[in-house]
Structure 1
Amino acid sequence: MSRVKCAVCLVAVTLLWTGILAAEDVQVSCRLQDSCVLPCTFEPGEGETIYWTQQLSVDIDVHSFYNDRDQLDNQDQRYQGRTSLYKDQISGGNASLQLTAVTFQDQGRYKCYIDTILGPTESFIQLEVQVPVGKIDIQQVGNTTTCSSKGIYPQPVLTWSTDPPHNLTKQKPTIQQDQELFSISSSLVTSLNVNKTAFSCTVTAGKSRRTATLSQQATVSEVNTDVSIPCRGSTSDLTGFRLTWSFNHRETILMHNFTETPSKVQIQEPWRQLVQNMSESGSLELQASSLQREGIYTCELSDAKQTHISNTFLKFETKQVTGEPGYLVPVIITVIVLALASLVIFIIMTKCKGKPSGGAGESTRGVGVPLSHVGNGNRRDQRLSTEENSPY
């Protein structure tokens, strides 16, 4: 037993002395198509020999350096023209590899092997290729809120939250993959008051994480008055944010990039005649004008990690006539009564004018009309006819 322990100790000491006993792999994340550096350092010594290989079922030659120059005759064709060392730093112990135009095939474990007059050393690097979470689309139709994002790698995860917090009935996210890239979407059905609740959707993929928050409100303003529409979710300091105001989800009103110095507001036509100003907090100020438009005004405020979307439905109303309702009611009733009375009188007069002066049996010769064919109103006419026929 003692001999076995001594043998193990001897092997461990030998590995430590030669530098072969490696530490944990160094984790490196690189964006797709970007340049990436795989770190590797060593104790400076003369006669440097550097071998970079990718650890697959059969090791692939990535980059070699010895005799004070690159040796690329055996380099795998996938890496041709994409690798380089910091040659001016090799003598100082830097053997890091720069890899350009990173692809999904570059993912995996790499070994950096170095040999000098001091002996060999090696280290291992685990490379993960990422396509960070970019734009998140979040929208609300009725009581359903939908969140989606696409063009992501590795496989993403989507979570929901609300402010104030509520128990949510969440739909299982739908994940699809097209040419290595993932897309994800999820819907949330709720009976919450959407004007009092902010909905947040967070998408995470590897070390990449982004949150989109949606809130909405309704506001009523008088016609031809100045209007101020707040950008909910905005912070007191907008440095590093990009702000966009739009109308009805399709027409851009203005853009303001706070990442630039100096920052400048870009107002689109024809909104230049209507936009009065934009406050420091991002509120949109519209001046009184006949061009004022009802609809949905959307403020989108975003930086590298989060997006706040605020929808405001703006409606205009005409100012009511000054006066108390108790004073107007009797006036309205009086007008209606007078109108009805006038109508009744008009109908009666029309009927009276339309009646004939004689009965159906009257002739131009003045022949008397039988009493059975006339009413009381025609008695005078009947009497006159009798007198005309009298021989006296």
Structure 2
Amino acid sequence: MAGIKCVMFVVVVTFPWTLTRGDEVSCVFMKSCILPCSFQPGSDVVIHWIRVSTRDQPNQPIHSYYHNEDKLSHQDQRFRTRTSLLKDQISRGNASLQLTGVEFQDEGRYKCYTSTITAGNKETFINVKVDVSITVSETENTIPCTSRKTNFSGLIWRFNHSQIILNQTRSDTLDAVSENWRQHVKYVSKSGSLTLQDLSVNQEGLYTCEYSTTDETYITTAFVNIKKDRGKPAKGSVFLK
């Protein structure tokens, strides 16, 4: 009986893969910012935006889009209601992400992953830096804490890590300001921003804000450099880190 020979055909389908390192994007604190990302238009578009892991935090899913709609069930809680795609431009190969209410914690490395059946896969990396724009007068300075608009459950401002400027649990009172700082603290906003007045070189140093909600705590550090002009009140320059 003659043997039966089997012939197996293996079909290998290769999808092109493109890696783009991307550029640095500067975003302004509390404003909206566009993180650019482009791809070759094609069918069955898939878009994933991810904040790349750091030593202290794993990858954070920010925004996903496939089957012609947003998919946000796995979105990191800190980015909820703050992200959107330019829907009318996706068909043209624009996967840019709009991030609103930019916070200092948003700094970092982001990955834009795109995929289509016809054009294959592409990864673009964006480094996001957060800049701050502060109006400084000769008599007072406002140091921002966070762009969150919800009332905080706890707020602590420290000076040079050791002195407590204020420690309060409500956003509408200055009762928790320490005795040594009452002449300098003018106002505390609902977002935790601290407005100082009548500054001198004694108030030059490092300011730290701990803004707590029921879910998370946000920390912002600012260095205030006091410059005194001859015959004029002290002038403060605020540098955020």
- Measured against the shorter chain, the TM-score band is 0.5 to 0.7
Per-residue deviation, residues 104-160 of structure 1 (Å, max 9, x unmatched): 22121110000112111111111122221322428xxxxxxxxx855279xxxxxxx
Separation of aligned partners in 1, 2:40 and 2:34 = 19
Per-residue deviation, residues 276-301 of structure 1 (Å, max 9, x unmatched): xxxxxxxxxxxxxxxxxxxxxxxxxx
Assess if the C-alpha contact under 8 Å between 1:152 and 1:205 holds in 2: no
- What is the letter of the counterpart of residue 18 of structure 1? W
Partner in structure 2 of residue 371 of structure 1:
none
Partner in structure 1 of residue 39 of structure 2:
42
- What is the letter of the counterpart of residue 184 of structure 1? N
Deviation (angstroms), 1:186? 3.0
Partner in structure 2 of residue 241 of structure 1:
none
- What is the letter of the counterpart of residue 206 of structure 2? Q
Matched, 1:151 2:143: yes
Partner in structure 2 of residue 123 of structure 1:
124
* CA gap 1:74/1:31 in 2 versus in 1, 3 angstroms: same
Assess if the C-alpha contact under 8 Å between 1:152 and 1:183 holds in 2: no
Matched, 1:32 2:62: no
Separation of aligned partners in 2, 1:87 and 1:69 = 9
Assess if the C-alpha contact under 8 Å between 2:27 and 2:128 holds in 1: yes
Assess if the C-alpha contact under 8 Å between 2:138 and 2:236 holds in 1: no
- What is the letter of the counterpart of residue 119 of structure 1? G
Partner in structure 2 of residue 19 of structure 1:
18
Per-residue deviation, residues 301-341 of structure 1 (Å, max 9, x unmatched): xxxxxxxxxxxxxxxxxxxxxxxxxxxxxxxxxxxxxxxxx
Separation of aligned partners in 1, 2:135 and 2:122 = 40
Assess if the C-alpha contact under 8 Å between 1:32 and 1:129 holds in 2: yes
Structure number having the greater helix percentage: 1
Separation of aligned partners in 2, 1:67 and 1:99 = 22
Q: SS of the counterpart of 1:56?
A: coil
Q: SS of the counterpart of 2:92?
A: coil
Which of structures 1 and 2 has the larger relative contact order (alpha carbons within 8 angstroms, sep 6+)? 2
Q: SS of the counterpart of 2:94?
A: coil
Assess if the C-alpha contact under 8 Å between 1:133 and 1:205 holds in 2: no
Separation of aligned partners in 2, 1:136 and 1:104 = 23
- What is the letter of the counterpart of residue 83 of structure 1? T
Query: What is the TM-score normalised by the length of structure 2?
Result: 0.55
Deviation (angstroms), 1:202? 10
Number of residue pairs the alignment of both structures matches: 153
Segments of 5+ residues of structure 1 without an aligned counterpart are 1-13, 139-147, 154-170, 195-200, 207-392
Partner in structure 1 of residue 227 of structure 2:
186
Assess if the C-alpha contact under 8 Å between 2:42 and 2:116 holds in 1: yes
Partner in structure 1 of residue 206 of structure 2:
176
**Higher radius of gyration, 1 or 2:** 1
Assess if the C-alpha contact under 8 Å between 1:65 and 1:71 holds in 2: yes
Separation of aligned partners in 2, 1:204 and 1:125 = 27
Separation of aligned partners in 2, 1:93 and 1:119 = 13
Assess if the C-alpha contact under 8 Å between 2:25 and 2:126 holds in 1: yes
Partner in structure 2 of residue 134 of structure 1:
135
Alignment RMSD: 3.1
Separation of aligned partners in 2, 1:204 and 1:29 = 18
